[in-house]
Amino acid sequence: MATCFSSSSSWLKLQFIIVVFLFAVISSISSPVNGCFTSIFSFGDSVSDTGNLIEISNLEIGKIPHSAFPPNGRTFFHRPTGRFCDGRLVIDFLAEALGLPFLPPYYRYKNAISEKFENGVNFAVGGAGALNSSFPGIYNPITVISLVDEVNSFKQFLNLRTDFKQLLRNSLIVMGEIGGNDYSHAFKQGKSIEDVRNFVPPVVDSITSSINELIELGAVTFLVPGNFPIGCSASYLTLFQGSDKDQYDPLTGCLTWLNQFSQHHNQLLRKELEKIRNLHPDINIVYGDYYSTTMRIYNSPNKFGFKETLKACCGTGGVYNYNLSRACGYLPATQCCNDPSSYMSWDGIHYTEAVNRLIANVVFEELMNSIHSLNNLCPALTINKLRMIYPKSEM
């Protein structure tokens, strides 16, 4: 038998509780999402660069990167922003999902820290490697900035903050993707697969050393992406065009030995991350499985709405619409597809916004599922709202 309230006072109290509850729900849905992390700090290369390489290159005449020119940015920003993409990057989607603004590039605004960096900052630089520019055996023709330099810039930034311990406790650190350029520069300079494999341990060591350094400073939550399937990249497919037929995956058209190399990097990275977890059980380290996520798309492109997987949307012709010496954005030779959302590759190296969105969806779920403390950081209603905006991918 249902219980009835015996007095008008009890009924009024119930009404008040209902009103307060509904107000809380409505406020959660209509207000900006916040409370999970107060800020994001990002390190990496062109996969995450939101404008740093342009600022650094402006200091060197004749070295303005092609990300500074159209058609880069055409899909979302409708202008070039320094992103090597037609629109948003994975880091942009993660910021949106967590209710934070897009991360400003550090090297553009480093003299205006108090105004620009309250919700985090991006240290990623296009062309940057995990290894120092003086590392023997690799020449970086794009920039002298490495992951070590990015972390040092971050420490300089922290030195200006009296609250940096609290800041780091409430921040998400995105460490990468980084290391891809160390390998690509070596391959393009004619080094053999055996030689390049020798670079994997020091690359992974640079990543994990940077993480340990930030842990010592007080950081507690990390997202560490692995490498992409580089055997599916138009740049590598063009570089090694004419390889024996049995070196290609018959389903995807990707070069299998290069994808195996990516997996080798990822396996070693995951092994080293597990060591850090064992040493620091209170630290949250989430591995971002970029490889598996994108391979699911390559294996079933139609399922995800893609018509072209290997050929670049923006380029200068050829089998894969890619030419290293005439990259997307360098007019007038650039050819651009009509619908970037139907292409996986934007410029032969980087993904389109459509792919970045799918990757971000998966990464966000990995964050939510892997870090149990997020249930304390993020109210349940907030997490539910985020999952409504960025639904769990079928991937």
Give the start-to-end residue ranges of the domains of the chain: 36-389
pLDDT at 127 over 80: yes
Q: The tokens 């020091």 sit on which residue? A: 202
Q: Check: CB of residue 70 under 8 Å from CB of residue 329.
A: yes
Q: Check: CB of residue 266 under 8 Å from CB of residue 205.
A: no
Tell me which range, 78-82, 160-164, 332-336, is most confidently predicted by mean pLDDT: 78-82
Strands 335-336 and 314-315: antiparallel
Which SS3 state, helix, strand or coil, does residue 58 take? coil
Q: The tokens 């670049």 sit on which residue? A: 312
Q: What is the mean pLDDT of residues 76-103?
A: 95
Whether residue 347 lies in the annotated active site: yes
- What backbone torsions phi and psi does residue 262 show, to the nearest 5 degrees? -60, -40
Whether residue 182 lies in the annotated active site: no
Helices (H), 31-77: 52-57
What is the dotted CATH code of the domain comprising 36-389? 3.40.50.1110
Among candidates 250, 253, 249, 228, which has minimal Cα distance to 238?
A: 253
**What are 239-269's pLDDT values in tens digits?**
999 999 999 999 999 999 999 999 999 999 9
Indicate yes or no: pTM above 0.75. Answer: yes
User: Who wins on pLDDT, 222 or 30?
Assistant: 222
**What are 183-229's pLDDT values in tens digits?**
999 999 999 999 999 999 999 999 999 999 999 999 999 999 999 99
Q: Check: CB of residue 219 under 8 Å from CB of residue 165.
A: no
Q: With b meaning 16 or more CB within 10 Å and e meaning fewer, what string describes 3-40?
A: eeeeeeeeeeeeeeeeeeeeeeeeebeeeebeebbbbb
Torsion of CA 168, 169, 170, 176, to 10 degrees: 50
Catalytic member of 42, 46, 67, 184: 46
Q: Which amino acid is at 19?
A: V
Q: Check: CB of residue 213 under 8 Å from CB of residue 151.
A: yes
pLDDT attached to residue 372: 60
For residues 196 and 259, give the distance between their C-alpha atoms in angstroms, rounded to a whole number: 14
pLDDT at 386 over 50: no
DSSP conformation class of 1: -
Tokens of 332: 């007038």
**What are 134-164's pLDDT values in tens digits?**
888 888 888 889 999 999 999 999 988 888 9
Tokens of 279: 């040493």
Whether residue 350 lies in the annotated active site: yes
